[in-house]
Every structure is written in structure tokens, then in C-alpha cells.
Amino acid sequence: MAEARKFVFVSPDYGSSITENGCCGSGCCDFEAVVLSGNAKDLTNAVKQRYGALAERAGKRGLEASENKASDKFYSDSQCSIIPDEAAGASTGSGNPLAYADVVAGETILDLGSGGGIDCLLLSSSVGDSGRVIGVDMTPRMVSLARDNARKLELANVVFKRGHIEQIPQDETSVDLVISNGVISQSEWKHMVFSEMFRVLKPGGRFVISDLVTDELLPDSIRDSTGQWVEGVGGAAVRSAYLRMIESAGFVDVEIVDERPGPNGTEEWRHLVKSLTIKASK
């Protein structure tokens, strides 16, 4: 049996002090600082290193047809034609939540795990000048890359913050829509992520997320593999438990709107991994 991962979480005191840079004061934005034991820091650092390195080579990766980019797999040619190569090259999602988002002009949208900013950049024109798109990512180099991409396109209604999806640097009841693409499966605290999503959404708000789940529990060797966690597979929750976490957070009208096979591979357990796109409302 794998050793149980233990942690202690200290809830932050949110308020008007949250800034555009994602700081909510008193050190609460450093999520690692409240993880007091277990290997959570190792996992967090591994994810940062992997996606930091990806950000460094995103431009080159965006130009390579042989690379397994989410932009090639899930996004239309018209969508890909809008974004810089660096945004396409940084894309690693498990679906396309934008296809089911039904965005309305003037909305405020929050993207959790925004990476190089692909979804935020595409949403900019949908929300219009009266709307706002906010990306949150914990990897500094990804946040820098996303900001550079937004500047290239001269998008005034898109901002990026550094922060953790378990402790979102955003005021409560402040957004109309939350999206996320292939990121929640990398968190050990998925229930916190859904609770935070519920907190920041306005009454009647909604989320559309794409993420990896499993039909049954994966082997211990996969769930204990840092490499598989970084890829989003090791931490993928069993489908039934994942949906229960969403409902326990308070969401209603939970609906699976798309289902696909998970990442390719020859391992026997691969058929258990699925990519779901899910909608729900507050």
C-alpha cells in the first residue's frame, strides 16, 4: 500500500486586498506554505518544473506538427489561426471546454490552470470590451508566457494571475463562468478546487471543465508515480467520486457533455482513463 499523503490546510482570509498579480495578502497565495507534511511539495514542484520547461520551448513546439499538442487535437483550424504559436505550443489540455461554454458578451470568465493562455486569448473576443477574462496558473514562466501572448494580440480585457487552483486569488461571487482544461486531475485536493470554484462564481454562474477521470482505481504504481501525476493520469479520480465531489461542493445540473478516450499508450490500464467535459451550475 502506498503511504497516505498527509497535509494541513489553513483557509485564507479573502477580501478586497486581492490584486491583479494574484496576491491576497498575508502570504496566503503561497499554497505550498500550508502543506506541512507528505510529498505534496514534491508533486507541486514537479508540475512547475515540467510546465516551466514547456513554457520555455512553447514557440518551437507550436511550429512542430509532430508534437502532441492539445490545440491540434481539440481545437478548430479557425481557433488555432487566431493564437500565437507560443500559446498553441503550451497547450496540454484534455478537451475543449470552449465548445460548450455558451459565452455571453460582458461576462467575467476565470480559467484555472491557464498555461500559455490559449483559452483566455480565444475568449477575449467573445466577452467583448465590456467583459473580462482572468487566467490563473501556478507556474511563473507560464504566467509570463501568457502575458506576453496577450500583449502580442493587444488584448486589454485579459489578465493573468499567479496562484493555485485550490486557493484561487479571486474574490467571491465575482465571475460568471469558470473553465479549466486538464488541470484538476493534477491536484491532490480536488474537493478544495470545486469548493473554490463555487465560492468565486456568482449565483447562477456555471463551470465547463475538461479533465481526466478513470472508470476504476488505477494500479498503485501509477497513482504513486510523480511522472504520471505530472501528466494528469496518476491523480485522476474515479469518475463516480469525481462527480460526487462536484455535487458535494454545491453544484447542480451536473452534465457530462463530451467523453473521449484518455491519453494514448500501450499499458493495459490505459483503457480505464477517460477525458470528460462536464458542465454544472451554482
The 10s digit of each residue's pLDDT in 23-63 is 443 333 454 454 434 455 677 776 767 765 665 665 555 44
- Predicted pLDDT at 54: 63
- Predicted pLDDT at 23: 41
- Predicted pLDDT at 106: 98
- Predicted pLDDT at 77: 73
| pLDDT bracket for residue 98 (50, 70, 90) | very high
Please compute the mean of the pLDDT values over residues 185-199 and round it to a whole number: 95
- Predicted pLDDT at 267: 92
Question: What is the pTM assigned to this prediction?
Answer: 0.81
State the DSSP string of 238-277.
EHHHHHHHHHHTT-EEEEEEEEEE-S---SGGGGGEEEEE
- Predicted pLDDT at 4: 38
Q: Is 250 exposed, middle or buried (0-12, 13-18, 19+ CB in 10 A)?
A: middle
- Predicted pLDDT at 80: 67
Cβ(209)–Cβ(188) under 8 Å? no
**What cell numbers appear for 109 in the block?**
470568465
- Predicted pLDDT at 53: 63
Q: By mean pLDDT, which of 108-117, 222-231, 242-251 is the weakest?
A: 222-231
- Predicted pLDDT at 81: 72
**What cell numbers appear for 68 in the block?**
502532441
Q: Is 221 exposed, middle or buried (0-12, 13-18, 19+ CB in 10 A)?
A: exposed
Please compute the mean of the pLDDT values over residues 12-18 and round it to a whole number: 33
pLDDT in tens, 207-224: 999 999 999 999 999 998
Average model confidence (pLDDT) for the chain? 80
**Tally of CB atoms within 10 A around 79:** 18
72 or 258, greater pLDDT: 258
